[in-house]
Structure formats: structure tokens, C-alpha cells
Amino acid sequence: MTTAPTASLASQPSHPPLITREGWLWIAALGGLFVALHWNHLYRTWRIALSDNDWSHALIVPLIAIYYIYQNRQRLAQQQRRVSWWGLPIMFIGLFSYAFWIFPGRNDMFQGYSMILTLFGLVLFVLGRDMMRVLWFPILYLVFAVKVAERIWALIAVKLQFIAAEGATVALKFFTVFVPGFIDVENRGSTIDLTFHKIVNGVPVAATESLNVAEACAGLRMLMAFLALGVALAFLFPRPWWQRLAMCLMAVPIAVAVNIGRVTTLGLLYLYNPDMASGDFHTFVGMLMLIPAAGLFLLLGWVLDKIVVTDPHRHAHDPAAANGQAAYPPPERQEKSVLSLGRGALLTAAGAAIVVIAGAIYWLTLANPIPPLRLPLVPAVLEVMGARLSWTLLPAALVSTALALVLLRKLIPPGARAAATRSTAAMCLVAGVLLASTVVQGTVIAATQTVLHKQAVPVREHLYMIPAQAGPWKLIHQDPPLSKEMEGELGTTEYISWVYEDTSWPKGTPGRQVRIHVAYYTGTADTVPHVPERCFTAAGAQWLGKYSAVLDVNGPDYVTERQPDGSTQIYAASAVARGESRIPTTDVPATVFAFSDSQGRQASNVVYFFAANGGFFANPDEVRANGFDPTDRFAYYCKIEIQCFDVTDSKLAEQRAASLLSGLLPEIMACLPDWVDVAEGRWPLDTVSEPS
């Protein structure tokens, strides 16, 4: 029998802590500066997580990333801490990209991705490639906390929602065979119709109820949460790379499967008690679906383990121990930094100077954009944004990287090239970069009076104050208020959906009746793009096409007056205002969307546009790009949508929408905030100072 050489093990040095006291101080300093620089985006993410159940997992994502680091602390202790110069350009590109997406890019999603890119470059620069073999996952995992832009989310999640609805329909048809009084299940897009016998005054009557209507515009419920859960379970357990890849690829199918189970459960509950398929219980059922989702991921991992049998004693996270090597770090890692306090302060000042110089180059290139390339099959907006982004970021990032490399070479004392000294020098430089970036960003925001978090501005009058008569148009129907759940999906409680009839047109004529839907948004964490292209197709309609148009809105009550500054202002008589309301323009830009029913038989048209901060805009992109001045303290937008029943001619739909709006637009604008009053501080009333 042989024994292990215990004497050699006893002679080895004790394992040093992964993070020393000095290391914790650096983490606190650099972490605090990093948070201060990105505070606006972090605060916005916090608001979204608290207000949107589909993104509440953003609060858990950083905790999972930290736990992964803690779980792999021994593996990290075996890695060399070496400065990697490749991290410098990545860090600077992330910094300037973050500034670009604040303005002029105005995109919250890319702000988040830029922040993560900055963190990736910073860690790579300070700790090196060996450490990044472990840390790359917790850093990149943070992308699950960044809310995807609604326009991109709609392209992805809504298509998956159709699959979930079809699967739930099949499952409900199977289960409801055993339900007494059940008749049939049909789905329209992502809406499921349940037909069953309902007792009315003691008599059974066939009734059809819609299930999941509240999610017709919501895409796939908790899709990102399920993806984050699947990726976490793939990496929190020791697995071969191919198993992790398989689990990540299966995250979307599992998310769809779990949603099929959720909708099926809600459908069965609806037949038992309709109240159990809505409200807080509906949300509770959705949260419970995380349990079967986790079970499916764990089952998938178990199946993958059985496909290929591996050595159970193999240390997946300890390659050194697996090769019979000692798990202690080499002596070089335990060397202390010899960088003096003076040189450290000089490097910090150098980092700040780099930001100032590169910042000047950044603003110079931003103010003098180059013309975009004319690339085939690439939308013009992407060409312009891509050319401006690359022209703005690359010169500033390259100059920053070059200056940092030169200064690090000059300011690190000769002969003190140990890894610990270079790492300390890198952290001093990064501290100066982050500090100067935070100060410069705050100074620019204050000097330009930019407001990053817009405040809510209330309507002057509720939308239901709009009159029932507007010229020949007469109100004939008001949709009842939506449920609390559907209002949550709509994103506002200030809305109307009414049907008007043109009494001057012969009965039965297409276009005699139209539905106008008006929804007001303010103080929201993100734009809610409830546009017909998404909502109507999600409810089962087929897309026939869309185009931009200009509606000629006018009438005898419209008056144009010249202002003292030489500009003109349009006014129109309004019953709601008991006087006149301001109209931005009588040439209203709009979008015309043509669609048909789910069978493609009956075509129809809907015309919509947005009123935002005193202007009219044809689509959500224009609202985001041009609707909000960076210096505006308040912000609102209002979707105005007119659906023309049985109108197959898009030009006729334009004419019908313009006719209705000629009478109703002054009333709508009288309900919305008067932007002149808002700009001059007369509205909201709680912002008006009392006379002294």
C-alpha cells in the first residue's frame, strides 16, 4: 500500500485570498465610478424592472453573475493577473458608444450594451486574458438585464407567440374533451376563442369568450426570463461546452413549451372560474411557470449527461488539478506592486487628460459627420446611423488607446514590470478615465440642460370629454373600459375606443362608420409601440402593406394667426377647451396600414399617427428621433388611430380619417397638454410658481 507524500503538501505555502484588502478597495473605487458614470441607465433599468413584470428578472441577473464568480473563486485563484492591452480599445469604444447612444442615438438598449462592453474591456485590461477565461460569462450574462427595444422585441417574440397560441389550442382541445359543457376552441393569431355552454337566467346558452387577448400585443410572456434561467442553469453546473451550447439553444423551445402550458392552464381555469384567468392570479400563474421551466432545463441536462458518459471524478472547473498539478498560484502572482503613490496619482491624472483630449475629438467628429455609403439592401436609417457611429467612435477610441499605451510605458518605472505593478498602474489609469468621463458627462448634461429622465405631464382634460358630435360625425358606440390586466398591456389608463358614424353618407356605404382609438402615454420607462402592424396581426389579421401619407385636416373653425416673432400658429374652435386649441399643423403626417381578416377575405385599412410634445409624427421611430427635445423636462405622446370599416381603398381611408379628424382633432388637442404652456411653465399646475 502506498501513501500520499504529505510532507510535500505541507511544505507548500498556504492559499492566499482571491481578493486582498487592497483589491477590495480598488473594486469599491472603480465600481463606484463605473456606477456613477452609468447611473442614468442603471436607474432606468431599475424602473423598468419594478414596473414591467416581463423584465423583473433584471434584478436577479447581477446576483446570478456574482454567484457564478463566487462559485469559481478557486479557479480564478489559479489564474495569472496580467494586463492585457487589448482591453483598452474595447473599453474606450464602450465609453464613447455609451455617450453616442445617449445623444444623438437616443437608444436605451444600446446604452446598456455599451455599458457591458465598457465593463468587458475594463476587466480584460486590468486583469488580463487568463482571468477573462472565467469572467467573460458573468459579464456577458448581464445582457439579459438590458431591455430589448420594443421594435426588435416585436419581431422576435410575437412570432413565437403565434406558435405558443397554436400549441395551447391543440392542448385545450385535448383536455376540454373531459370538461362538461365545452364546445370548441379556435385561435386567431395569439388570441384563443373558447366556446362553451354558459348558464344565463337558468338557461344554457352557447357563449364564446376570448382568452389571452391581453397578450395579443405582448409577444411571448417572460421569454427573456426563461432564456436567462436556461443559460444560468447551463453554466452554474460543471458541464462540457457542447452540453452548455445545447441547453442555450433549447432555451427558446422550452420557453415556448412552458408558455403553451401556461395558456392551457389559464384556459382550463377560465372554464372553471373566469376570475382565475385574469388579474393577480394570472400573474401568479405566470411566475409559477418558472418552476416547470427549471425542471425542463434540469431534465435536459440529465438527458445530456446520459448521452455521453464522462468521468464523475473529473474536475471540470479545476484543469490544473485534473492534470496532477498543484492548485496554488505561482510565486509571481503573489508579488506586490512597487508603484509609488506619486506615479499612481500621475497615472490617474493622465487617464483624465486622455478623456478630455479624446472627448474633444469625439465632439468634433460628431459635429462633422461623413456621408453614409450607399449599400444595397441596407435601409437608409441604418446607413446613416452606422456611418455616423463608426466615424464618431473609431477616431476617439484609437487616439485614447494610443495615448494610454504611451503614458503607461513612460510612467511605469523601469525595471518594475511585474504583473502586480502593471495591474496597479492600469487601475490608476482606469480610475482617471472613469472619473473624468463621469465629470465630463455631468458637465455636458448640465451645460446643455439635457434631461435624461422625462417627467410625466398630465392631460388637461380626460379623453372621455371629447364630444359625441363633430360636424356630420356622430358617436354611436363606446367600448367598455378594459380589464386591469389589459390596461397593463396597453400601458395607460387614459384612452378611448369609440365608433363614429357619418350621418351625411348613405347607410351601408363603406366608410360611413369608423372606429377612433386614442391612447395617451407619459412618464413611462420606455415607448410602448402599440401600432396596428403589431396588434392587429397578433390578433389574427394578415398584413397587406403600409405607406406614409399626409392627411389634409381643415375646416371653417381653423384660423391661422401670425405671431410676434414672425411665425404662424393655427387655432381651432373647441368645445372641450371652451374656446380655441392650438393645432401644430393641418398637414398631418400619418401611416396607412392595410390588412385583412385571418382568412384573407375581408380587407380593411387603419390610419394612425402620434401627437408628441406639441408635434405630429407618422410612426414611433419619428417620435423617438424627433419628438422629444433633449432639454424638455416633460414628455408625452398620444397615439391617434382611425380604423375604417369595410374600406378596401386606402385613399378612401385617408379621406375618411381626415374628415373625422377635421372635427375631432381640436377636441383631442384640447385634452392633451398645450405644449406652449408646458414650455413656458404654465402647465402642469403644480410647477407654476405662486406670485410673491
- Which pLDDT tens digit goes with each residue over 174-222? 877 776 666 778 777 667 777 776 666 666 777 776 665 455 555 566 7
Confirm if 84 and 124 have CB atoms less than 8 A apart.
yes
How many whole angstroms separate alpha carbon 271 and alpha carbon 370?
62
For residue 605, what pLDDT is reported? 92
For residue 211, what pLDDT is reported? 66
Partners of residue 192 on adjacent β-strands: 187, 211
- Residue 251: count other Cβ atoms within 10 Å of its Cβ: 23
Query: Strand, helix or coil at 673?
Result: coil
Angle, alpha carbons 333-349-447 (nearest 5°): 130
Block residue for cell numbers 410625466: 456
Chain centroid to Cα 84, Å, comes to 32
C-alpha cell at 64: 446570478
- Model confidence at 234, pLDDT cuts 50, 70, 90, reads very high
Q: Which residues contact 276 (CB under 8 A, 6 or more apart)?
A: 269, 270, 282
Among the listed ranges 273-277, 343-347, 544-548, 599-603, which one has the minimum average pLDDT value? 273-277
How many whole angstroms separate alpha carbon 635 and alpha carbon 627?
9
For residue 608, what pLDDT is reported? 96
Give Cα separations from 565 to 390, 403, 411, 571 (angstroms).
40, 50, 58, 17
For residue 357, what pLDDT is reported? 96
- Model confidence at 320, pLDDT cuts 50, 70, 90, reads very low
Q: What would the pLDDT profile of 132-170 be if each residue is shown by its tens digit? A: 999 999 999 999 999 988 777 777 777 777 787 788 888
Task: Give me the mean pLDDT over the 225-235 stretch.
Answer: 92
Block residue for cell numbers 473563486: 73
For residue 239, what pLDDT is reported? 87
Alpha helices for 289-379 (secondary structure H): 290-307, 319-322, 341-367
**Is pLDDT at 660 greater than 90 in this prediction?**
yes
Q: What would the pLDDT profile of 392-437 be if each residue is shown by its tens digit? A: 888 999 999 999 999 888 887 665 557 778 888 999 999 999 999 9
Please state at what angle helix 39-51 crosses helix 21-37, rounded to 10 degrees.
Answer: 80
CA-based nearest residue to 506, from 482, 463, 480, 472: 472
For residue 358, what pLDDT is reported? 94
pTM for this entry? 0.84
Confirm if 551 and 654 have CB atoms less than 8 A apart.
yes
Q: Taken in order 376, 377, 379, 382, is the CA torsion positive or negative?
A: negative
Q: What would the pLDDT profile of 27-72 be if each residue is shown by its tens digit? A: 999 999 999 999 999 999 998 888 777 788 999 999 999 999 999 9
| CA count, 13 A, side-chain hemisphere, 476 | 12
Partners of residue 519 on adjacent β-strands: 495, 639
CB burial of residue 686 (10 Å; 0-12, 13-18, 19+): exposed
Q: What would the pLDDT profile of 445-467 be if each residue is shown by its tens digit? A: 988 888 888 899 999 999 999 99
